[in-house]
Amino acid sequence: HSLLNSTSLSCCHIVALTVKTPTHSKTFNRIPLKHPSNTPVDQPGKPLSIFTCFPSNSIVLCDCVSVVLVQGNWDVTYSTQSICVLKGSTVELSCTYKYPSGHKVTSTFWFTTKYTDGNPVNLSDDPDYRGRVTYRSDEKNRHTLIITDLRESDSAEYKFSFITDQTGGQWIGQPGVTLSVTGLQVEVIGGQKRTLTCRTTCPLTGNPTYIWYKNGESGEENSTPQYYNQIFREYEVSWGYQDSYTCSVKGHEDLHSPTVCVEGQYCSRVTYTQRRICVLKGSSVDITCTYVGGSNVTSPLWFSTKQSGWWRDKLFPEDLTTDPGYAGRVEFPDQESTRYRGPFTLRITDLREEDSDEYRFTYATNLFLRGYGLPGTTLTVTGLQVKMSPDTVTEGQNVTLTCITSCPLTENPTYIWYKKNVTSPKASGQSYSITNITSEDSGEYYCEVRNGGGSVNSSALMVTVADYILGKHTSVLTASVGITVVVLVLILCLSGFIWFRRKNYSKSTSSDKRNTKNTENKRQGVHPDPNSDTYTALNMRTRSPDYDTLESVHPYTNSDMYSSLNMMTRSPDYDTLV
């Protein structure tokens, strides 16, 4: 199951039957053989081969069983091993996968082929599947491959692979899913009563219901591929010169078989030149069909299936020219010269994405009221955009620009690349690669697509090439800037801290000095140092009257306010004076 992580052993029981003469008397010698235990496993994931030589008169019978010894918890489980679907339809192939703990899945994809070096080719990168492949996955390790617009050449074995972040962590689910793509074909057998069978090259998956169309009108449904006449309750159809038949499968009514005649080759039938067309928005398209029948067409008419909302009668289509959405954009070139036998052409100009639909041709003849050309031509209108890989660009890288559409363009379009403000084209092809890109390559790029419907330009994409230093050393530059900022912040913080400490220290020193002086002044009392700037001795002769209270320090005995205490008669309240 794995290219890298499994070992295969084969256990074989080999019997040699030796024939001895005479031939009528045979002796059978049973020879048990053992596989050498030291045989190297040189092809992991494949059974070992045992080669043993016997005499020429021996017949060797081998019964081998292959055993795969899987290392670790690796596995891919597909929802089905084989599937058969219709050409032109869409298919979904699903699987689940698991891997050992400690691994992280980095890549998942499906493939059918490999490069010359043995590595699988991712379907999304395969030119044969461009625009037709999408992947869908979920957190439960389910993965789905979706392929649209299937072709018979898509028939192959599809395998799922995933890669993890560990060395040797690549796993391929084997065997894969076998996809068979088939078309529908009506087979006519019998004489006057004829049997019609809707044939496929493989049994369609899912118990299909078959739908039959007579002269383009939907009729019988049957669970078997044979046509069944509900009126006459028989599988045969009667001879009808003008009758044509086609079949489809329910759910895929747009995928009809080619129309066949029950008798001869001149029954009424319509054949479209192209079944599917993909064109660019803003361009024009021609949808053409041919008519074959025993009578001339009397009233040709083109319509689209989603246009039916404008019809006055749902059973009778109306011409596109009656739809306001197509006003002034629908033409029928050469209608007068080809109106009876064809070919018949519908031209739509100035295409819009909402014009995407199936377009059908209907007609009337002298023998019947209305005939339909089923199925019609499916038209897809797509926009055009430029995608760049990688998303961001630095000098020295290789860059690829790609013109992207939602469907593969028909009529072999031509791609031309331009750079704005540069007159000459830069390159041709759907992709444009710029190697070793420089800042001079910066600018706006767009692509022009030319085909039979004209030419259309994409919107311009701005390509900005970053400088090498910015691109290659962004992390280093960012780290340097960060370190510089941190250092500056630390310096500012340290400076502020030192300034704050110095300020506090200065305040503390001044306060201490003042406290020291105050203490000394208290010790000196009212006789301060005459040399002090703060205190100056009072001149008793010139002092202000405001200082007369100083005499209270030595009160006069005759003063009424202060009297000397008689120690013998003093009040007990003054005992504290002792």
pLDDT tens for each residue of 190-200: 766 778 899 99
Measure Cα distances from 96 to 72, 74, 108, 136 in Å: 16, 11, 11, 12
- Band of the pLDDT at 79, cuts 50, 70, 90? very high
User: What token pair was written down for 23?
Assistant: 């031939």
Q: Which residues of 103-126 are buried (b: 16+ CB within 10 A; e: fewer)?
A: bebeebbbbbeeeeeeebbbbbee
Q: So what's the pLDDT on residue 156? A: 95
417: number of Cβ within 10 Å: 20
pLDDT at residue 157 greater than cutoff 50: yes
pLDDT confidence of residue 338: 63
* Rounded CA separation 157/123 (Å): 12
Average pLDDT over residues 518-538: 50
Tell which residue, 300, 294, 217, has the closest CA to residue 259: 217
30-50 core/surface letters (b: 16 or more CB in 10 A; e: else): eeeeeeeeeeeeeebbebbee
pLDDT in tens, 365-376: 776 666 667 678
Give the residue from 156, 81, 89 showing the smallest Cα distance to 120.
156
13: β partners: 63
Report, as an integer, the average pLDDT of 207-233. 77
Percent of the chain with pLDDT over 70: 65
Chain centroid to CA 549:
104
Contact 392, 472 (CB under 8 A): no
- CA pair distance 223, 219, nearest whole angstrom: 14
